[in-house]
């Protein structure tokens, strides 16, 4: 029997996301959530979600592409806010000083999450920023230091995933998976869990997901979701336009509804 890690990214990003994650865990099948330490609704998550969901496994969602830094103004964030993208970080020249600044920020985010959730279950990256090899080595180092047992790995089998997702897979996600798998070759990976979601990133549905899971045999699989309960104007605080468009998508509700799908009963869920 397969074992599932059903993870919601972006806890702390907006109030609507926080409430969706709370409901999906308490009344659905959501087992894990990745908490962003430097976002506006971090404290809302701490006050409203964590106390109500003591069994929810909390991880660190390393964020270097938006919101304020925890370490202040520096060469990686001249005005104290992150405004880059995965691509800009990938091609950034990272000398020793830059790498030290990145490490300081990531460590600050880990420490902040650990202060509200001492037993961190995992670490991953907003927009997969942690897969960039130079950043991944920092994340792995800090995971060892703080005894975080799992770092998300992008090891989705392209051909198996494409077989079940090709009807709904945008070409940009084909390119994305190829790039992330290539970069992962340079990282220290365990291969203990299978990752599923890149080909249909943020658009997961039951027609693709469950046939894919059913053909696996005795694997531990992380399913990455981005659920939300709609979008309100107060959620726009400190958000770039690209994220506002993302959170207004009807796919956020689709992935929220998926968290309650009774087909998840067929699988063991990892605590």
Domain residue extents for the chain: 3-269
Q: Say if residue 161's pLDDT is above 70.
A: yes
pLDDT of residue 248: 82
- Provide the mean pLDDT of the chain: 94
pLDDT of residue 50: 98
Give the helix/strand (H/E) hosting 258: helix 251-258
Q: Say if residue 150's pLDDT is above 70.
A: yes
Q: Say if residue 1's pLDDT is above 90.
A: no
pTM, two decimal places: 0.95
Structure tokens at 40: 């506006």
Which own/partner contact pairs does 149-152 have at CB distance under 8 Å and 24+ positions apart?
Answer: 149/121, 149/122, 150/59, 150/121, 150/122, 150/123, 150/192, 150/193, 151/122, 151/123, 151/124, 152/122, 152/123, 152/124, 152/125, 152/195, 152/222
What band does 38 get if pLDDT is binned at 50, 70 and 90? Answer: very high
Task: State pLDDT tens for residues 197-251.
Answer: 899 988 999 999 999 999 999 999 999 999 999 877 776 666 777 788 887 888 8
pLDDT of residue 237: 67
Q: Which CATH superfamily is domain 3-269 in?
A: Glycoside hydrolase/deacetylase (3.20.20.370)
């Amino acid at each position: 029997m397969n074992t599932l890690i059903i993870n919601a990214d972006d806890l702390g990003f907006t109030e609507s996301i926080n409430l969706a994650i709370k409901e999906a865990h308490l009344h659905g099948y959501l087992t894990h959530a990745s908490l962003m330490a430097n976002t506006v609704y971090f404290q809302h998550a701490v006050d409203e979600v964590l106390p109500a969901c003591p069994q929810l496994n909390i991880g660190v969602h390393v964020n270097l592409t938006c919101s304020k830094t925890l370490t202040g103004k520096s060469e990686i964030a001249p005005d104290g806010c992150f405004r880059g993208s995965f691509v800009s970080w990938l091609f950034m020249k990272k000398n020793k000083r830059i790498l030290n600044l990145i490490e300081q920020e990531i460590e600050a985010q880990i420490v902040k999450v650990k202060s509200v959730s001492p037993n961190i279950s995992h670490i991953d990256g907003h927009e997969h920023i942690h897969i960039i090899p130079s950043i991944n080595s920092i994340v792995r180092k800090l995971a060892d230091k703080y005894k975080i047992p799992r770092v998300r790995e992008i090891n989705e089998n392209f051909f198996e995933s494409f077989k079940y997702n090709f009807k709904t897979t945008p070409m940009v996600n084909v390119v994305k998976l190829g790039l992330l798998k290539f970069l992962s070759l340079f990282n220290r990976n365990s291969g203990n869990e299978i990752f599923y979601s890149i080909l249909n990133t943020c658009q997961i549905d039951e027609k693709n997901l469950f046939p894919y899971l059913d053909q696996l045999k005795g694997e531990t699989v992380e399913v990455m979701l981005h659920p939300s309960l709609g979008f309100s104007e107060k959620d726009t605080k400190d958000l770039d336009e690209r994220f506002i468009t993302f959170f207004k998508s009807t796919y956020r509700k689709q992935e929220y509804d998926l968290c309650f799908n009774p087909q998840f009963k067929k699988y063991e869920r990892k605590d």
